[in-house]
Every structure is written in C-alpha cells, then in structure tokens.
Amino acid sequence: MSNKEIAKLFKITASLLELHDENPFKIRAYSGAVFSIEKMEQDIGSLQPQELEKVEGLGKSIAGKIAEIQENGSFAELDKLLNETPKGVVQMLKIKGIGPKKVKTIWKEAGIETVEGLSVACEENKIAKIKGFGEKTQQTILENIVFLLQQEGRFFYAEIEPLALEIQKELEKTTLTFSLSGQARRFLETEELLQFLVASDDSLAVFALFDNLSFLQKTEKECSPNAWRGKALQSGIKVEIKICSPAQFGSKLILDSSGEGHLEKVVAENQTLAQYFRKHHFSNEKEAYLSLGMPVFLPELREGLIEFKNENEVSQFSNPELIRYQDLKGTLHNHTKYSDGENTLLEMAQKCLEMGLQYFGIADHSKSAQYANGLYEKDVLRQHAEIEELNKQLAPFKILKGIESDILGDGSLDYEQDILKSFDYVVASVHSGLGMDETRANARLVKAIENPYTTILGHPTGRLLLRRQGYPIDHRKIIDACVANGVVIEINASPYRLDLDWRWIPYALEKGAMLSINPDAHDLEGLHDMYYGTLVARKGGLTIKNCLNAMGLKELETYLNKIRS
C-alpha cells in the first residue's frame, strides 16, 4: 500500500480512538505516525521493519501495524474499532466541521447512527438544541453533509491516473485496439469510475484478461455481456471495461468520453452529436468527426464549454496551441523549511534545475500563518540573504523572492509596505476565516487585489476537493478586479485544490487575464503537481501567451518589473 493509504488508515484509527475515549497517548501516537508518514519521501513499502522502527514518529509498535497492513490491507486494532462503531457513525467522521467529540455526542446523546439521520435531525432543528452546538453549527453540518454525499465514492484524478496507466500497460501486451474513455480521458478533477473501451468481437477473451489481473477484483453481479465491471483492490476505485465491435469503436469512444454539453450539440439532420453517433457507426474518431465536417476535438475539450464558438463555428484548438507541461519554464508558489515545507531552498532549487526549469519562485507562508511557521520580518530578511548567496552559485538559474501573504479579515496583507516591496512578487491568499458569505468574500478579495503589492491571487476560493467547498465568490467580479489591477490569477495545481476552477478559465481569458499554474509545493515531489494544473488549464483553453510561468526568466522579470512600477 502507498504511504498515503497507510496514513489514511492511521488517521481513521486516531479518530475512532478519540470517539471511544481511548488513551490520549495512543491517539497522539497514531496522529504522530500520520504526520511522519505524510512527510516521508521514501516509499514505506521499501523499508524493512527494523528500518521503520528508526523513523522519527513511528517506533516498534507502529512499524508492526504497518507490516500488518502490508500483509492484510488493515490491522487488528482498526478492525476491532470499526466493528464496535456503526458504519454511519464512521461516515460522520468525514463531515467537515465536526470532530470525534461532537460525533460522539451526536451518537451517544442524540442516538443518531447515520448521516441521513443526522441530516433529518438538523432539518428538524434538533441538533441546534444540543449543548455545545447551536444554530450556526447545525447549518454548517447540514451544508457539509450535502457536500459529503455529493462527493462520496469519488476519487482525485491523481489517484485515478496511476491505475489507468497500469491497465493500459496490460492492454498494450495484447493486439487489441483500446482507449481510455470516460471522465479520465477528459482529465476531470474528481471521478467516480475509471473506464476503458476495447474493440473486440470476442468479449469472453477480454473478460478472461481482466479476470486474471491480480490488482483488480471482478464484481460479477454488475457485469453484462459487453461490460466487465469491478474495482481496484487497494484503492477501491471502480473500473468498467466496455467492449464493442471494431466497426463501432470510433463513434462509441466519442459517446463514452465526451461530456453532456458536447454531445448535446445539434448537428446534421437536426440531431445532437449523441443521436448521430448512436445511429452512424465509425471505426475511429477522425472518420466520425470528419463525416460532420468537424475537426477531431481534443478529449479534454469535449465539455460543450469552448469547443463550439457559436451555432456554425467550432474552435480548432491543437496540442501545440494549448498549454503543455513541457511549456512551463518555472514555478512560482512553493514552500520550504522556512515555513511548512519539507526541503531547503537549495534542495528545491536543485530539483527545479533537474526538471529543466529556469527559475524557482519561493512563496513561504507569511507571519499570520503561525500554524504553518509563517515568516516574521527577520525571517524574511534571513531568507533573502540566503537566496542572494544561492543565486550566485546557481546562475543563470534564479531563485525569485516571493511570499504567500495572508489576506487578513479586512482584506489587507499582513506585512508593512517596506517588507512587501522587498519581494519580487507576492501571492495573496486566504487561509483563515473561510466561513464567509459571498458579499464578505468578494469585498475581502477585491481589497487584497487592489493592494499595489499583490502580484498573484492564490487559490481564489480556498476549496479542497472532496473535503471542503470553497467560500462563495462572484467569479466574474473577482476576475474583473484582477484584470483591472494587473493581478495574475493562480491555478493552484495541487490535485487536491485545482483552484481556479477550469470552468472559469474561458471567462478569464476573454477578459484578458494572465494565469499562473502554481504547484503550491511543500516538498520535492510536489513540484510535479504543475502537471495536474496543466491538464485542467487545457480544459479551459489556456494557451502559452496567457500563462505567466510559461515565460522564460528574462521575460518574466520584465513582466514583474512592469506591473510593480
């Protein structure tokens, strides 16, 4: 199992122990193990038990649990806790805004054992009457239940892709014609199902292939004559392998891997694309689209958002025109050991050099973010002095002096002017007071955007995919303010954020906004998250000319000097 999966099991264990009023020292041991595992760069599965025991924050007991997990997929203590806890109560622990203590109160005092029962109790105003809750907490619980239920069973694209590549590798060993299909082919940020389409007149042979893959488990009752269905053993990701005749492969692939907005486009004989391709069969996508006089749309654009300019015209985006991962020349939102990162300035810079980048922009947390070891003024000066020394060693590569400055409750940034002007650029982000209504959020962001030292608006809504809804904003108003004030809009490329949402990129481009694909990296591997940002940026139609970190170093420095002057 991966480090992330093991850490997740320990996190659940810590929550369940707290729920059952177990020994606080044991709870802290599991929480500490989660922290240690999450910051480990080495694959935990490659370490021997004796080596695990020496890892800070683990020890002999936790190392034993890890060995048990690797052997059985779980461990006895967790299984016992799960058996003692109703499934609905375990699910409640996933609701944002209520921890184990409140869940225990809901379970033990109110006698509620399901998320659905909790939702009904909130709607009937029963939760607000429990001591320590109140109407505001009740409303928050209700809103977060809706969000939880909407996201249940979904996975991050970053979790889906490795499994897709594993299946693809197996299919490449055959002579079958196949393709990734469904949502993964369009790079959707979260997905509930991994799909492939296989062209074959022998569905039994395809079934046999997938029956014998050790990392998949067949779900017999969900299979049909032309669809193998199952799940990945480790992650639980649902897998569907559809089988069609070679003559239908092209039209079927379009139907299976396009969004509703694309398929609803009205084409020949007053039919939609969906109706047309169900009626007319083609062996490949090129023939299928050419039969309608259309270009072969890139799969990631098949959402109905930008590929059709108007009733009679289509947008002919091509691979070289849309932003690509290899087009990025540098990275501009990253953290080091100065705040809450795992690596030093030099280590991060050297990794960027290995990646072929021209510059590394530091953006450690500012002084208000003390939970993340934010930098006070003296720390900023110390970091700048180190950057100047490193730049002498690393030239022509350059480390840029940046900061992720907290946007305070009133919209101001948390440094005085003399410190703000010492940076090459400033990423302004909200990290606290996230429970805002739209009016307050808009006012807070616009004031920060209008600050002359703000260069980039970081993760505009503060969302965490599958975990936390972003605070509500008027996207048009915020984008317009950024354009009016020359502020770049971040596409936070962390696969757990991907914020700005790609659906708003076309509006941003229409208004002439500049965007930056920033990894928000906290360690060396995090630098590669720009890849995920590039995928969603392509969905929104982002091109090189509107991407800040597609600029080379000299062009970037000229741009930054211009907007700061």
Contacts 24+ apart (CB under 8 A), 305-310: 305/261, 305/503, 305/506, 305/539, 305/540, 306/506, 306/540, 306/541, 307/262, 308/265
* Cα dihedral across residues 183, 323, 471, 235: positive or negative: positive
- 460 CB-contact burial (10 Å; exposed 0-12 / middle 13-18 / buried 19+): buried
Closest CA to 242 of 254, 225, 259, 258: 225
Q: What are phi and psi of 84, to 5 degrees?
A: -90, -5
Q: Please provide the DSSP assignment of 43-67 as one string.
A: -GGGS-HHHHHTSTTTHHHHHHHHH
Q: What class has domain 153-244? A: alpha beta
Q: Please provide the DSSP assignment of 57-117 as one string.
A: TTHHHHHHHHHHHHHHSS-HHHHHHHHTS-HHHHHHTTSTT--HHHHHIIIIIT---SHHH
- 561 CB-contact burial (10 Å; exposed 0-12 / middle 13-18 / buried 19+): exposed
Q: What class has domain 3-151? A: mainly alpha
Rounded distance between C-alpha atoms, residue 53 and residue 61, angstroms: 8
Three-state SS letters, 115-169: HHHHHHHHHCCCHHHCCCCHHHHHHHHHHHHHHHHHHCCCEEHHHHHHHHHHHHH
pLDDT at residue 428, rounded to an integer:
97
Q: Which three-class secondary structure state does DSSP give residue 174?
A: coil
With DSSP H G I counted as helix, E B as strand and the rest as coil, what are the percentages for the chain, rounded to 5? Answer: 50, 15, 35
Contacts 24+ apart (CB under 8 A), 189-192: 189/156, 189/157, 189/465, 189/495, 189/498, 189/502, 189/536, 190/151, 190/154, 190/155, 190/156, 190/157, 190/465, 190/466, 191/154, 191/155, 191/157, 191/160, 192/153, 192/154, 192/155, 192/238
Map tokens 């509107």 to a residue.
546
Map tokens 């052997």 to a residue.
71
C-alpha distances in Å from residue 132, one per residue of 110, 138, 225, 262, 324: 13, 11, 55, 49, 51
Rounded distance between C-alpha atoms, residue 187 and residue 181, angstroms: 10
Q: Which three-class secondary structure state does DSSP give residue 388?
A: helix
Which are the contacts of 550, defined by CB distance < 8 A and separation ≥ 6?
Answer: 323, 327, 328, 329, 544
Rounded distance between C-alpha atoms, residue 395 and residue 408, angstroms: 36
pLDDT at residue 316, rounded to an integer:
59
CATH number corresponding to 325-564: 3.20.20.140
Closest CA to 547 of 503, 472, 479, 489: 489
Dig out the tokens for 16 from the structure.
Answer: 């369940």
| pTM of the predicted structure, to 2 decimals | 0.82
Scanning 203-306, the segments in alpha helix (DSSP H) are 203-211, 249-256, 260-263, 273-279, 285-290
Q: Where on the phi/psi map is residue 454: left (φ > 0), alpha (ψ -120 to 50), or beta?
A: beta
Q: Count Cα atoms within 13 angstroms, Cβ side, for 452.
A: 8
Rounded distance between C-alpha atoms, residue 14 and residue 5, angstroms: 15
* Amino acid making up residue 50: Q
Q: Which pLDDT tens digits describe the chain residue by residue (565 residues)?
A: 678 888 889 999 999 999 998 888 889 988 888 888 887 777 777 777 778 777 877 878 888 888 888 777 788 899 999 999 999 999 898 888 788 999 999 999 889 999 888 988 888 888 888 888 888 888 888 888 877 776 778 899 999 999 999 999 999 999 999 999 999 999 999 999 999 999 999 999 999 999 999 999 999 999 999 999 999 988 889 999 999 999 999 999 999 999 999 999 999 888 999 999 999 999 999 999 999 999 999 999 999 999 987 555 556 565 558 999 999 999 999 999 999 998 999 999 999 999 999 999 999 999 999 888 999 999 999 999 999 999 999 999 999 999 999 999 999 999 999 999 999 999 999 998 888 899 999 999 999 999 999 999 999 999 999 878 889 999 999 999 999 999 999 999 999 999 999 999 999 999 999 999 999 999 999 999 999 999 999 999 999 999 999 999 999 999 999 988 7
C-alpha distances in Å from residue 108, one per residue of 85, 112, 113, 121, 150: 11, 8, 9, 14, 26
Q: Where are the domains of the chain?
A: 3-151, 153-244, 257-313, 325-564
Map tokens 């109905």 to a residue.
304
Element of type H or E holding 488: strand 488-492
Contact of 9 with 74, CB cutoff 8 Å = yes
Rounded distance between C-alpha atoms, residue 404 and residue 414, angstroms: 10
433: number of Cβ within 10 Å: 14
Rounded distance between C-alpha atoms, residue 367 and residue 404, angstroms: 10
